[in-house]
Amino acid sequence: MEEGKKLIITVLGYDRVGIIATISAILAENQVNILDISQTILQGFFTMVMVVDMSNSKCEIGQLRELLVEAGRNLGLEVTVQHEDIFKFMHRI
């Protein structure tokens, strides 16, 4: 895996059919591999965190972010996409 090609994607919102399918389809279409995924539903509120690898993608991070944020908006969700280094820096102890 190429160094610096991992992203952290978070998805938050009310649960509904098709959330994981929609996000996964966008990633697959852009050759982005899901390395790890955690999702839960608490009292109807959906949360998902994904670690993905963009090493084989021709898509730029900004372009991928736009696609995911727009898809999330259409589903009434908040989607964030951060480079792994930024995520680590922001969440250090």
Q: Using alpha carbons, select from 52, 50, 49, 38 the residue that is nearest to residue 6.
A: 52
Q: CA-CA distance, 33 to 36, in Å (whole number)? A: 9
CATH 3.90.25.10 for domain 6-90:
no
Torsion angle, alpha carbons of 75, 70, 26, 48, to 10: -50
Q: CA-CA distance, 32 to 53, in Å (whole number)? A: 6
pLDDT tens, residue by residue, 38-90 = 999 999 999 999 999 999 999 999 999 999 999 999 999 999 999 976 655 56
Report the pLDDT value the prediction gives residue 15, as an integer from 0 to 100: 96
Residue 78, Cβ neighbours under 10 Å: how many?
Answer: 11
Query: Do 13 and 72 form a contact (C-beta atoms < 8 A)?
Result: yes
pTM, two decimals, is 0.87
